[in-house]
Structure 1
Amino acid sequence: MAESTVGTTPPTVMTIAGTDSGGGAGVVADLRAMAACGAHGCVAVTAVTVQNTLGVTGVHTIPPEVVAAQIESVAGDIALGAVKTGMLADTPIIEAIVDACDRVGIGGDGVPLVIDPVAASMHGDPLLADAALDAYRTLLFPRAVLATPNLDEVRLLAGVDVHDRAAQYEAAKVMHGFGPQYVLIKGGHLQEDTDVCVDLLYDGHTFTELPGPRFDTGNTHGSGDNMASAIASWLARGVPVPEAVALGKRYVVEAVRHSYPLGGGHGPISPLWAVRPWWEQTD
């Protein structure tokens, strides 16, 4: 007689994003973070990138109707606890995503939607058409429970050049004005912070600073993807946004602490610190 299985269905999260052939960012990083945070990951691929640790040499977008079909297929069968977006490439894809999400109840008062507004790779290679910035402002952010821009994305989306803490606070106000319930202004690129990395959470009324150690490493590829995915995983568990963000911050701090060199460029942050090696288990 076959042995019975003992699995319990975990929280389920969807990532709507592009691929990274080097394995450091995109849907690969999202799925790793979700697994490390105890969630089952589903995907809707928006683009296939040609990249390694040195940079991006090609971007091939998926037809918008195929992106939408992936979302609707998964949501029609699997109960999603949260959804996060990454690289969305262009306006037609964003519009298709919004229409699909509206049809299946993602965003707004439905399934929590986390928007990581990926505009460029860490090497500076563009991953978002300029015309799509307005689609983020008018279509995506009003449907989001949380937006998680870094400082480069804040400059593109909000027109605020953040060089100090005061500007980070101002950026949070401007970004919140686009409609998300919460905004997290990530401070990893803030040069005035030499020994800490302060992310700033704002809900329209209250600011919360989330400090963490700053590490002397260039191996930070995929940190934004990981953080949004970790937060979405905790939201899928029913954890309130401020607590989910704090847990996502804790996860990313340790993932950067355990980052590793890979290839000739920027290595990835590591989810492996959160995974107990099965081959070393004795119980």
Structure 2
Amino acid sequence: MQQTDFRALTIAGSDSGGGAGIQADIKTFQELGVYGMSAITAVTAQNSLGVHHIHPIPLTIIEQQLHAIGSDMNPAAVKTGMLVDAATIELVATMSKRFRWNNVVVDPVMIAKGGASLLQQTALQALIQHLLPITTVITPNIPEAEILTGLTINTLKDREKAASNFVQMGVTHVLIKGGHDETNTEHSVDLYYDGQSFHYLSGQRVATKHTHGTGCTLSAAITAQLARQKKPLEAIHKAKKFIQAAIEHAYPIGAGHGPTNHFAYNQMKNKRKTATGNHIQHL
């Protein structure tokens, strides 16, 4: 496959602060060698201190964006972020079917870091009914998984039950993120389920408040890897390495929750290559 076939589409809101949403997705696609395209569902006024205003994009404009991309520059993978309302969700599902988009990654964005609601309550049923049945990978955190499944999640067994529920809803692969589970102060444990077996994916916790956009960035990294023809579990493993580097070397700008560092993964990789090369030359 030629590199020009590594194309991914993000359908999400614009973050004026650049740490999440469309901006985080495009940065992630670029860093992982994937050509990024976007359909903007809402424009937000936000910074490290929170979301100050949300302006939904008219449905006809969203449809025109999706049609323009699907009819001419069809992506190999698609991710959804902030979808705002039921009508937008139904439209995205309809257009995805029309253009036969595979590798659909759903990040069910509901609440921003500062607490602002990013998904209307009436949209939940639309998400479950229309979008989840065509979802390849869903990436909820624990509170989002609770809302979507109606379950209370306290234990790993609870997460397994929630993951099974998602598969029953039509999702092919489930990644329930464990960052909100603070019972383990050294590691966070994500649960992956493909309808047959459970995998527990551990990651080192980082003591930082600069985590704005972590969910967007992780799901975008998974989407990029799927666009590069990686299998879902391999895509998730690679995406976790990307977000781990982004958090460990966060970009502490602003007075609140600063963004993760989308440059970090490749910077660290290049440093390792340079160090290895210097060592070989020295020997």
Counterpart check, 1:95 vs 2:99? no
Give 1:147 deviation, angstroms. Answer: 0.6
SS of structure 2 residue aligned to 1:130: coil
SS of structure 1 residue aligned to 2:65: helix
Deviations 1:191-214 (A, max 9, x none): 112110111110111001110100
Counterpart check, 1:237 vs 2:228? yes
Aligned mates of 1:32, 1:42 — CA distance in 2? 11
TM-score, L = length of structure 2: 0.91
Deviations 1:166-201 (A, max 9, x none): 222222122222111011000011111211011111
Amino acid corresponding to residue 34 of structure 1 in structure 2: F
* Residue from 18, 21, 25 that aligns with 2:13: 18
Q: Could you say which residue in structure 2 is the equivalent of 1:269?
A: 260
Q: Could you say which residue in structure 1 is the equivalent of 2:35?
A: 40
* Residue from 111, 118, 125 that aligns with 1:127: 118
SS of structure 2 residue aligned to 1:245: helix
Runs of 4+ in 1 over 4 A off after TM superposition: none
Give 1:162 deviation, angstroms. Answer: 2.1
Amino acid corresponding to residue 193 of structure 2 in structure 1: Y
Q: Which moved more, 1:150-159 or 1:80-89?
A: 150-159
* Residue from 237, 240, 244 that aligns with 1:249: 240
Q: Could you say which residue in structure 2 is the equivalent of 1:69?
A: 64
Aligned mates of 1:69, 1:33 — CA distance in 2? 24
Aligned mates of 1:226, 1:43 — CA distance in 2? 14
Identity %: 39
Q: Could you say which residue in structure 1 is the equivalent of 2:141?
A: 150
Aligned mates of 1:217, 1:62 — CA distance in 2? 33
Amino acid corresponding to residue 229 of structure 1 in structure 2: A
| Structure 1 unaligned residues grouped into runs of 5+ | 1-6
| Structure 2 unaligned residues grouped into runs of 5+ | 275-283
Q: Could you say which residue in structure 2 is the equivalent of 1:27?
A: 22
Is the CA contact 2:84–2:118 (under 8 Å) kept in the aligned structure 1? yes
Q: Could you say which residue in structure 1 is the equivalent of 2:277?
A: none
Aligned mates of 2:90, 2:243 — CA distance in 1? 30
Greater fraction helix: 2
Aligned mates of 1:174, 1:98 — CA distance in 2? 20
Q: Say if 1:8 and 1:98 are closer, same or farther in 2 by CA, change over 3 A.
A: closer
Is the CA contact 1:151–1:161 (under 8 Å) kept in the aligned structure 2? no
SS of structure 1 residue aligned to 2:4: coil
Q: Could you say which residue in structure 2 is the equivalent of 1:203?
A: 194
Aligned mates of 2:254, 2:51 — CA distance in 1? 14
Amino acid corresponding to residue 12 of structure 1 in structure 2: R
Is the CA contact 1:10–1:38 (under 8 Å) kept in the aligned structure 2? no
Give 1:273 deviation, angstroms. Answer: 1.3
Deviations 1:7-45 (A, max 9, x none): 952611000000111111000000111111111100000
Aligned mates of 1:162, 1:253 — CA distance in 2? 24
Aligned mates of 2:105, 2:8 — CA distance in 1? 11
* Residue from 149, 153, 168 that aligns with 1:162: 153
Is the CA contact 1:164–1:192 (under 8 Å) kept in the aligned structure 2? no
Give 1:75 deviation, angstroms. Answer: 1.6
Counterpart check, 1:58 vs 2:58? no
Aligned mates of 1:98, 1:39 — CA distance in 2? 23
Is the CA contact 2:5–2:76 (under 8 Å) kept in the aligned structure 1? no
* Residue from 218, 226, 245 that aligns with 1:227: 218
SS of structure 1 residue aligned to 2:74: coil
RMSD: 1.8
Is the CA contact 1:33–1:229 (under 8 Å) kept in the aligned structure 2? yes
Aligned length: 269
Deviations 1:51-75 (A, max 9, x none): 1111112111111121121111012
Is the CA contact 2:79–2:223 (under 8 Å) kept in the aligned structure 1? yes
